[in-house]
Structure 1
Amino acid sequence: MQFFMLQFAVKNPRNRKLLITLIIILVVVGVLVTIAVIQNLALPQKLKYGIVIDAGSSHTSLYIYQWPAEKMNDTGLVRELTSCKVKGPGISSYWMDVKKAGLSLRDCLNDAKGKLPVKQHHETPVYLGATAGMRLLRLQNQQLSESLLNSVQEFIKTYPFNLQGARILTGQDEGAFGWITINYLMGNFLKDSAGEDSPTLGALDLGGASTQITFVPDGNTESEESSLCFRLYGKSYNIYTHSYLCYGKDQALKMLLDKLNVLNDGTISNPCFNRGYSKSINATVFFDTPCISRPQSTTHQTLNLIGTGDSAQCSKDVNKIFNFTSCSWSSCSFNGVYQPPLHGQFGAFSAFYFVMNFLNLTKDGPHDLDKVKKAVDTFCSSPWAEVKSVFSIDERYLSEYCFAGHYILSLLQNGYNFTSTNWKAIKFVRKIKGSDAGWTLGYMLNLTNMIPAELPYTRPLTYTSYLTVMVIFSILLFILLLVGFLIFKKKLCRVGDKM
């Protein structure tokens, strides 16, 4: 083809201008197409990853989060990529052999190692947050709690991640980050940043050793200790939050048993266990907690728990672990703790959700308070043999649902001051848009404010430059086409003259 064009130009010198014009036109068209293709290629998204390990009182979970390197209003758009539940109890349970605490994380850390891009292992931060279980251990033996955390840190360091430390969260942190999580997942922060009126949700969290309530009050709070300020997506939030150590479900059960009478033969009749249930427990281990102010007054090493399934009595006994009378503020929750009047809707997660879900009270809701009470009473009055035949659940959890149901009712009604009027303001949730409700995502979201943002991948030309180049080359192409047309037309005229 090139040879033919060359011969065409040599034999016909008058065609050289037309040939050159055509070649230039082809080059300009090629440049235009190339610029358009390169400029409009889909840009790869820069992603960052973070790992948060939730070291709770009863179990440990590992969460992997990802967000774009380019941040919005100084806060990364974090979402949960995957999670892994660690086998075994919470790390505080390994106080007798601290090395086993770190080893318990091996499977989940290996899982994370396989799911994250190898080239980003060393830049992926890992944060371990220990909650109420470790807060209780620190109260009992601070040196032991520090030794346990150090052992866990040393084990995590054997992995190619960027360990940012392992620390015991305050109850205030746990409550506040849980509040951040559910509001982030509901999109409330983004709506607010767009100038829309989007009220935030309050957060209710119930773990094994503590419970937290967090919400934005309608007005100022009287207690500075229970007030926090966050700035997310360009907006500030003043929140009320309080954590009640020892009032998680597991520790509350121990406080209840401590208040029940022990018979001479070491038997404890418990109205919060189904009728016909029985279990032997080691008194020393079970009552070894700072949540009980005095040792159990019994000489028995082994205690026999006998369920009576008395729902009404269970409700009365559960109320005994709270103090609803003393209050030096304008309004209180329990134990003399200040709490402003409830305001807005609430999301209840962790054990709140699991107990209500077991009682079939999380679907087709929200359900009114009377229906919840009836469901709890119905379950409590069922014989243990019948309960076991209907539910294929681990007996430890199954046996505690009667107590847990009454405990949640007492905590929410008498403690946090929910009534039949505003009960439906509570939505019991486990996941929101595929992510677990809990403090870990809020923790990661808050920490991204401290991680430098990277510039996103950019296109070769700015929009203005791209438009300018395309206009110039288009004009040039038009001129060349016009010149080519005139040359071709002149050639045709000459051919006509010769004829």
Structure 2
Amino acid sequence: MKRPKLAVVLLLLGVLLAYLMFMKRHYGASEPDAYRAPPPPQRGPAKLAVAPGRNSQFGIMFDAGSTGTRIHVFEFQMERNAPKLAHETFRAIEPGLSAYADHPEEVAGLTELLKVAESSIPPSSWTLTPVVLKATAGLRLLDGAKAKHLLDTVRALFTDSPFLSRDDSVSVMDGTDEGKTSSLSPGDLHSPDASTVGMLDLGGGSTQITFSPQDEKTIQTSPIDHIRSFRMFNSTHTVYTHSYLGLGLMSARLSVLGGIEAPPLEGSTELVSPCLAPESSGSWEHADVVYRVTGQKAGEPVYEACRTKVEKVLYRKVVPVSEAADVDFYAFSYYYDRAVDLGLIGEETGGTVRVVDYMEAAKRVCSSRPVSPLQSPFLCLDLVYISVLLHELGFPPNKQFKLARTINQVETSWALGATFHYIEFLKSH
């Protein structure tokens, strides 16, 4: 597939998926959001409009993930039938929003990202530009009261900004929504076909798979909550999508290390794992807890012992999809990062990786000493987990994925489709 057409396909798929999230949130199809505070007074005009003399509409989306917060500032060229993405400004900061659970006042650091938006949008459009924050797995794993306090703080920050902030501007996405608004890229929304590309995303707290099934068997045999059908642009679209909460790479690390299924005794934070080099030791912080992690005594080869442990952690937690083996997939986030760590792809250019590449790399890393002090002691665990997860999802060893951070200079993220549909909602209300 030629690159421009692929970009078109990716964008439409993402926007179509975001539409279902939009319908679910605004027409009562989802459960009440346990973390949402009572709505503050609504600001800005009842209906969204384009600034006088301009043919552009801007939108600001904060993606508050488990390991960092990212801002996407989109500029859409407004056309008769559908908008067209003209430009994106992207920035990211660490750590994730959930790291401030006990110190919510520190989220004022988001003002740095708001300044990025101010410098990217003409002042005449500020009051017409919606600002939205959607938190993902990191906040879904937090205590409800702490998550609510964090979101209240962000909501107050947005209310004081020059942008359009409403009662629904700050919220926690559920896992289904995150999967449905899977990664996408720029293109022309007039394209009628979005059936040929799938999306895989491996975050810190959750992992998602999304594609448009072409085999009726997939639709008939998949769990009912994995299949979604909806109408958009005068056509009916069906997608397979699911988000596995707790199976993101950082959450999986904790499970594999034994911090969930066999937590340390009260007062202890020591974890022993076969996925670490024998008799090695170190520290690891996760969800505000610092663990002391050590490898087991020399015995069974590390790769085999670690794979057995990972398989137990994933046992019956993932639904395989046979059709996925025949779909072209893009893979993002930690799939990309670990491939970069191994030198399988360029950090800036991306590339292609097969399931067996992760598997062979895992065998090599697990059986050798770190090549440098900078190599993560968890690289063996991470690679074993990725290779087993892909196998459990139904991908054969030779299945190849396209890895990219950006497509046509736009960050790969669910944020584009979600922003587009939020703007469309504001226009109609």
- Fold conserved (TM > 0.5)? yes
Equivalents in 1 of 2:286, 2:426: separation in Å?
48
Structure 1: where are the runs of 5+ without partners? 1-43, 288-301, 325-333, 454-499
Aligned pairs for 1:196-207 within 5 A: 199-207=195-203
Calculate the aligned-residue CA RMSD, in Å. Answer: 3.0
Corresponding position of 2:36: none
1:282 Cα offset (Å): 7.4
CA, structure 1 residues 283+341, in 2 after alignment: closer, same or farther (shift >3 Å)?
closer
SS at match of 1:129: strand
Amino acid at match of 2:384: H
Partner of 2:405: 430
Q: Quick one: distance in 2 between partners of 1:54 and 1:66?
A: 17
Q: Is the 8 A contact 1:215 1:241 kept in 2?
A: yes
Which residue of 2 is the match for residue 373 of structure 1?
Answer: 359
Query: Which residue in the other structure is 1:417 paired with?
Result: 394
Give the TM-score normalised by structure 2: 0.75
Residue 164 of structure 2 is matched in structure 1 by 162
Q: Which residue of 2 aligns with 1:70?
A: 79
Are 1:173 and 2:173 matched, yes or no? Answer: no
2:335 counterpart of 1:358: no
Counting only pairs closer than 5 Å after superposition, residues 238-387 of structure 1 correspond to structure 2 as 238-258=238-258, 268-274=271-277, 277-280=280-283, 285-286=288-289, 303-306=292-295, 310-324=302-316, 334=317, 337=319, 339=321, 341-342=323-324, 343-362=326-345, 366-384=352-370, 386-387=371-372
Distance 1:113 1:130, change over 3 A: same
* Separation in 1, partners of 2:153, 2:91: 21
Q: 1:49 aligns with which of 37, 53, 58?
A: 58
Change (3 A) 1:117 1:255: same
List structure 1 segments (4+ residues) > 6 angstroms apart after TM superposition.
260-263
Counterpart secondary structure, 2:314:
coil
Where does structure 2 lack aligned partners over 5 or more consecutive residues? 1-52
Amino acid at match of 2:209: I
**2:74 counterpart SS class:** strand
Alpha-carbon contact 2:61-2:415 (below 8 Å) kept: yes
- What corresponds to 1:478 in structure 2? none
Match of 2:88 among 81, 96, 119: 81
Q: What residue identity is the alignment partner of 1:148?
A: L
Letter in 2 for 1:56: G
- 1:147-189, CA deviations, whole angstroms, 9 ceiling, x for partnerless residues? 21011110122110002410101111111111xx43x5476x6
The structure with the largest helix share of the pair is 1
Q: Which structure would you say has the larger Rg?
A: 1
Measured after TM superposition, the shift of residue 350 of structure 1 is 1.2
The amino acid across from 2:252 in the alignment is: A
Q: CA deviation at 1:376?
A: 2.3
Q: Which amino acid aligns with 1:163?
A: S
Please give the secondary structure, in 2, of the residue aligned with 1:154: helix
- Equivalent in the alignment of 2:124: 119
Using the TM superposition, give the Cα deviation of residue 271 of structure 1 relative to its aligned residue in structure 2, in angstroms.
3.3
Cα deviation code 1:225-280 (max 9, x no counterpart) = 222234454433210111111000000000111157979x9864433234675213
Q: Per-residue CA shift, 1:415-446, capped at 9, x if unaligned?
A: 2011135x12x222221111111211121233
* 2: CA distance, partners of 1:122 / 1:284: 36
Aligned counterparts of 2:385 and 2:132: Cα–Cα separation in 1: 32
Instruction: Quote the Cα distance in structure 1 between the aligned partners of 2:225 and 2:408.
Output: 33
Q: Deviations over 1:88-123 (max 9, x none)?
A: 31111211122222x120111112112210111111
SS in 2 for 1:78: strand
* Conserved 8 A contact 1:177-1:443: yes
SS at match of 2:304: helix
Alignment partner, residue 447 of structure 1: 422
Question: Which letter maps to 1:432?
Answer: I
- Cα distance in 2 for residues equivalent to 1:185 and 1:61: 18
Task: Give the total of aligned pairs.
Answer: 359
SS of the residue 1:122 aligns to: helix
Equivalent position SS for 1:399: coil
1:30-66: CA deviation from partner (whole Å, max 9, x where unpaired): xxxxxxxxxxxxxx86111100000001110111001
Would you tell me which structure has more strand in proportion to its own residues?
2
Question: Offset of 1:372 from its aligned partner?
Answer: 3.3
